[in-house]
Each structure stands twice: as C-alpha cells, then as structure tokens.
Amino acid sequence: MKLVCISDTHSLHHRIPDIPDGDVLIHAGDCLGQGTLENIEELNEWLGTLPHRYKIVIAGNHDWAFQE
C-alpha cells in the first residue's frame, strides 16, 4: 500500500503540479484558505479528480469551517 501525504495547501491545492500516485491520499491539515463552504466544495471537487482510491482529510487550525 502506498500512502501520499500533503498538507498546508490553504486552498491552493490546484497549484500543486504533480501529486504522486498511490492508494491513499492524506491531506494532513490546513487545506482551506478562508474556510468557507465554497472552499470545501472546491477541495471536494479537486479530490474527486485524483486517482487515489481513498482520501483522508484531517482538519487543521485553519480549517474551522469543518466544525460548522
């Protein structure tokens, strides 16, 4: 099993040129910028385009929108 871990993209995930292939993608915090519902929807759409079978998103201190 191959794990791929990224973090601290602050809603700039679309600027990452190449994410390695793997079985699991882990976003280990601070995935959102301003923490709006729109940021979450954009992140979800982007995650859906990636080939990893499983995606795990761990909320960081900038990701307060996940609490609402």
Q: What is the pLDDT of residue 61?
A: 80
Task: Count CA atoms within 13 Å of residue 52 on its CB side.
Answer: 22
User: Could you give the domains of the chain?
Assistant: 3-67 (3.60.21.40)
pLDDT band at 68 (very low <50, low <70, confident <90, very high): low
Three-class SS state of 5? strand
In whole angstroms, what separates CA 9 from the centre of its chain? 7
Report the predicted TM-score, pTM, of the whole model to 2 decimal places: 0.86
Tens of pLDDT, residues 28-62: 988 988 778 888 899 999 999 999 999 999 988 87
